[in-house]
Amino acid sequence: MLKNTNVKSVEHVVIRFSGDSGDGMQLAGNIFSNVSAGEGNQISTFPDYPAEIRAPQGTLSGVSGFQVNLGHAVHTPGDEADVLVAMNPAALKTNLKFLKSTGIIICDSDTFRPADLKKAEYTTDDPIKELGIDKRRVLLVPMTELVKRTLEGSGLDQKAMLKCKNMFALGLICWLFERPVDSVLAKLKAKFAKKPEIYEANAKVIRAGWDCGHNTHSYMPTYRVETESVEPGIYTDVNGNTATAWGLIMASEKSGRPLFLGSYPITPATDILHELAKRKDLGVKACQMEDEIAGVCSAIGASYAGHLAVTSTSGPGLALKSEAIGLAVMAELPLVVIDVQRGGPSTGLPTKTEQTDLMQALYGRNGESPICVLSAVSPTDCFHMAFEAARIAIEHMTPVILLTDAFIANGSSAWRVPEESEYPEIKVPFVTDEQLAAEWKPYKRIGENFARAWAIPGTKGAMHRVGGLEKDFETSVISNDGANHALMIETRRSKVAKIANSVPDLTIAGEKDADTILVGWGGTYGHLYTAMEELNADGNENHKVALAQFRYINPMPKNAIEDLSRFKRIIVAELNTGQFADYLQMHMPGHEILRINKVEGQPFLVKEIVDGVIKHIEQK
């Protein structure tokens, strides 16, 4: 029996919902997260779903999970869960490893029938015992039966009834965490606005779940999670892909350039296409093309025609687009390429997260083909960095690759909806009448950033041809001259290098005077930040660290190398075998770049980073 009967006050708590991929665990998890955010908790969520859309029911491969961390100072979805909801024995088996040794398990005991156990590859009839779980940590609830009883006489058939099981679990969790059922019902009502009978059934089941906790399990500890004061404003819950799409729309509004997306479905980037397809209501043209190449090519066409042009993809798609991106480099057209990284190579681990496309983004094209590469550090940062990618692309007339990853693309956090005035106008380098009246050439450099002017079809007197062939620096006419080619290569290189003048400095967080700096890039920020906090709080003077998370990778912020050089020990932690570390090493030949690497398709655990840093510190 679980002994504590009082309310536990905690800084943050991690809950993991797991079940069959058709069990509605993502929905239950999402609603719970949003309600918690509304209560003033910080949230960070991470859906962990299988590559198969509907693997055989009840099997180990069909288990889908949703983890949420909520409370105060939350930067990651949490290493391990405090509470695990397992809707069947397969979910219990595959998710146990994500649970703290002291964590609580809530199970549907009606799914422990011999057939279920066999599908989940148990060899005995007692899964709890077989997995070596302390019985006192488990709350077995006959959910299936209770749901059926709750919905008796509702007119729903058995199948429809069982679909409500996720809401029973949600009700139970709401009781455990003192979440107001009314807020849950409000969200559910909005979701099922067009199906009132489904709403009614689900609402009944949620209440039944709550009552079940309240009436029969009052010996369980309930949690009161700390809230915190955040910047005033209007908040919503947003995942990285949606935030990316919205950041692009903001850039479109701030540049006055209509938004065009050419894309092709690919996990885990497709939600960007979905969101922008919906945003025809804001004038966005989102086109699903016949393949990845057509996706980027249509965007290049739209860019030439004067749009803010974007293509969204993941690693395999980026590989297919590389020749066309080279054309955008050569034609000097603004183009935003979003790569939501996943496990590779080849098809790899399509639904899992990795940071393994950095080298591809930096160098994966033929010829000397420099490109601006950015990364987003969190779900909500995707908004800002998508805006930045578009701003740089337009103001510098260049393609930009923005690297996000499956972890931040699918993960979500509470996000303050920015006011219109918070983002700057993007200055579009349209060709001017003065330039046209003088000796204008399509590839003539204008201004300090070396960009060329954007002459959009329809502009009188600016008819010009662009293309993949080399052209003369002075006349813009195609040229095979060797010396001119060298000059043009240098011009394109320095054009990208000059982007550094318009990006913010790299910020150093944590103990700025420490000997050690932990360095990361992209979506690992939350884990690195939490690791940094833990290391600085562990009382060991030697463990003190600073943290630098790169968002601007090529070019790097101007202060980056100098500021990093001050540290005795530079440790790069990343979800690959050392791509950024190698890149940094190239820029810092006099320093030894230490590494912490992981390529398991899963985000870091904070513990892995903490241990890795301590190991490096102890070695040198």
Partner 1 sequence: MENNQNQYTPSDYKNKQSVRWCPGCGDHAILNVLHKAMAELQIPPEQTVVVSGIGCSSRLPYYMNTYGMHTIHGRAAAIATGVKTSRPDLTVWQISGDGDGLAIGGNHFIHAVRRNIDLNMLLFNNKIYGLTKGQYSPTTDRGTVTKSSPYGTTEDPFIPAELCFGARGTFFARSFDVALDTTKEVMVAAARHKGASVVEVLQNCMIFNNGAFAWFTDREERLNRTIHLRHGEKMLFGTDLDLGLVQDGFGLKAVKLGEDGYTIDDVLVHDAHCESNFLHQQLAMMDGHSLPIAIGVIRDVEAPSYETEVAKQVETVKAKKGFKNLRDMILKTTETWEVK
Residue whose CB is less far from partner 1, 87 or 325: 325
User: In terms of Cα–Cα distance, which of 350, 353, 324 is closest to 337?
Assistant: 324
Residue whose CB is less far from partner 1, 311 or 516: 311
How far does the chain reach from its first CA to its final CA, in angstroms?
A: 48
Q: How far is the CB of 487 from partner 1 (least distance, A)?
A: 21
Q: How far is the CB of 371 from partner 1 (least distance, A)?
A: 16
Q: How far is the CB of 237 from partner 1 (least distance, A)?
A: 7
- Name the CA dihedral angle for 32, 34, 36, 40, rounded to a multiple of 10 degrees: 180
CB 26 within 8 A of CB 66: yes
Residue whose CB is less far from partner 1, 29 or 306: 306
Q: How far is the CB of 564 from partner 1 (least distance, A)?
A: 36
User: In terms of Cα–Cα distance, which of 177, 182, 146 is closest to 161?
Assistant: 146
Q: How far is the CB of 40 from partner 1 (least distance, A)?
A: 7
Residue whose CB is less far from partner 1, 436 or 599: 436
How many whole angstroms separate alpha carbon 176 and alpha carbon 296?
A: 49
Q: Within 13 A of 178's CA, how many CA atoms are on the CB side?
A: 16
Q: How far is the CB of 229 from partner 1 (least distance, A)?
A: 8
The separation between CA 240 and the C-alpha centre of its own chain, rounded to angstroms, equals 4
Q: How far is the CB of 141 from partner 1 (least distance, A)?
A: 28
Residue whose CB is less far from partner 1, 269 or 310: 310
Q: How far is the CB of 477 from partner 1 (least distance, A)?
A: 7
CB 18 within 8 A of CB 91: yes
How many whole angstroms separate alpha carbon 289 and alpha carbon 321?
A: 13
Give just the sign of the alpha carbon dihedral 49, 55, 56, 60: negative
Q: DSSP characters for 561-594?
A: HHHHHT-SEEEEEESSSSHHHHHHHHH-TTSPEE
Instruction: Please state, as a whole number, how many other Cβ atoms lie within 10 Å of the Cβ of residue 22.
Output: 14
Would strands 99-108 and 545-550 be described as parallel, antiparallel, or unpaired? unpaired
Residue whose CB is less far from partner 1, 165 or 279: 279
The separation between CA 270 and the C-alpha centre of its own chain, rounded to angstroms, equals 13
Residue whose CB is less far from partner 1, 379 or 603: 379
CB 67 within 8 A of CB 81: yes
Residue whose CB is less far from partner 1, 131 or 282: 282
